[in-house]
Amino acid sequence: MSRRTLFTWDRSTGARAEQAAARYLIDKGLGVVKRNHRCRHGEIDLICLDSGCLVFVEVRYRTNAAHGDAAETVNRPKQRRLIAAAQHFLSTEWRTPAADTPCRFDIIAVRPDPERAGHAKLRWLRNAFEAADSR
């Protein structure tokens, strides 16, 4: 599941990776609800809607896979922070009662496309982890 998209690699690589991920998800039919939700627990890069399901998306960038896949860097402590930040969003900003909202956690792994300079490859891991997995 990769996609090539124009990408300029510079100091704002993280923001550009998030922008590329947002465009990718929009192209796949998801609606972006919020970008960069910050609270004391951490930050959620993208919050999207996918057919009534609220999707909390962590965007991870790596220049190459020599030090591991970008998605592998979302370890248990990071998952716990994302879950806490998602709970914060649901309790403070979401208009529907949290119990009535199906949710999932996705990861978008972004890396440069070695075949095309200035482009990126994205890999979308749906339902990458669940709240119960991170205890």
pLDDT digits (tens, 9 = 90+) for 47-103: 999 999 999 999 998 876 666 677 788 989 999 999 999 999 999 988 876 678 899
- Report CA dihedral (44, 49, 52, 56) to the nearest 10 degrees: -20
pTM, full prediction? 0.84
Q: What is the pLDDT of residue 38?
A: 95
CB 91 within 8 A of CB 113: no
Please give the Cα distance from 11 to 126 (Å, whole number): 28
Please give the Cα distance from 43 to 53 (Å, whole number): 19
Q: Which residue has the higher pLDDT, 11 or 60?
A: 60
Could you give the percent of the chain with pLDDT greater than 90? 56
Confidence check: pLDDT of 2 > 60? no
Q: Which residue has the higher pLDDT, 67 or 12?
A: 12
